A and B are shown apart, each in its own frame.
Chain A
Amino acid sequence: IQLTQSPSSLSASVGDRVTITCRASQGISSALAWYQQKPGKIPKLLIHHASGLGDGVPSRFSGGGSGTDFSLTISSLQPEDFATYYCQHFNNYPITFGQGTRLEIK
């Protein structure tokens, strides 16, 4: 299963609402997770099962979708949110990730 994220990169400002999409090449029900990774750091789980908020993750992050189309939305960007975001499916093997979306400060 291939995961295609859009856009590959994005420039936005603090306070903006941002949405990243992830499209699966075949249906994966809700078996999708989202991660945030900052340079030189390990990935952090944000969302599991498409819309479940990870422990300790701020409520400005939300996930949605099922089947083949998914989204990650940040309702009001904070300075610490500028990072790279990855989607990952866990519907079956092989487990795969999207190519990543780099979110930069405008």
Chain B
Amino acid sequence: EMQLVEAGGGLVQPGGSLRLSCAASGEIFSTYWMTWLRQAPGKGLEWVANINNDGGESHYVDSVKGRFTISRDNAKNLLYLQLNSLTAEDTAIYYCARGGSTTSWYWVYWGQGTLVTVSS
């Protein structure tokens, strides 16, 4: 069973940047697609980005394309999300997640989330 722990959230001004990280343990991180999702306060779930096992392929929701970058360091069992040009609409809890199999796009394992607040 994989454990996921996010970090890096906080308060940032509009236009600012933040880098989130997700530390994975318990299973072979390097064999799995990994995903970032988010949930704005009181709102529903939104898929943000995912990345394949070796970092060579990634996909993004349109609203973050060109502003967010997903990456991973398999040697350190870390997943990242670089957030640039932040707006109030990016305020949310950000979760990292992993599927039940190496390539599944539904998620069994979730971290507890890290809150990003974009406000002046």
Contacts and interface: CB of A to CB of B under 8 A. Distances in A.
B59 A93 contact: yes
Interface residues of B, number: 19
A45 B106 contact: yes
B106 A88 contact: yes
B105 A95 contact: yes
A96 B108 contact: no
Interface string A16-60: 000000000000000101010100001101001000001100000
Contacts, number: 48
Interface string B84-120: 0000000000010000100011111011110000000
Contacts of B73: none
A79 B54 CA distance: 43
B100 A48 contact: yes
B44 A42 contact: no
A20 B95 CA distance: 25
Interface string A52-93: 001100000000000000000000000000000010101001
B44 A54 contact: no
A97 B46 contact: yes
A13 interface: no
Nearest to B95: A42
Nearest to A48: B106
A86 B44 contact: yes
Interface of A: 31, 33, 35, 37, 42-43, 45, 48, 54-55, 86, 88, 90, 93-100
Given A43-B45, A94-B61, 19 more contacts: A33-B106, A37-B45, A42-B113, A45-B100, A45-B106, A45-B107, A48-B100, A48-B104, A48-B106, A86-B44, A86-B45, A88-B45, A90-B104, A94-B47, A95-B47, A95-B105, A96-B47, A97-B44, A97-B46
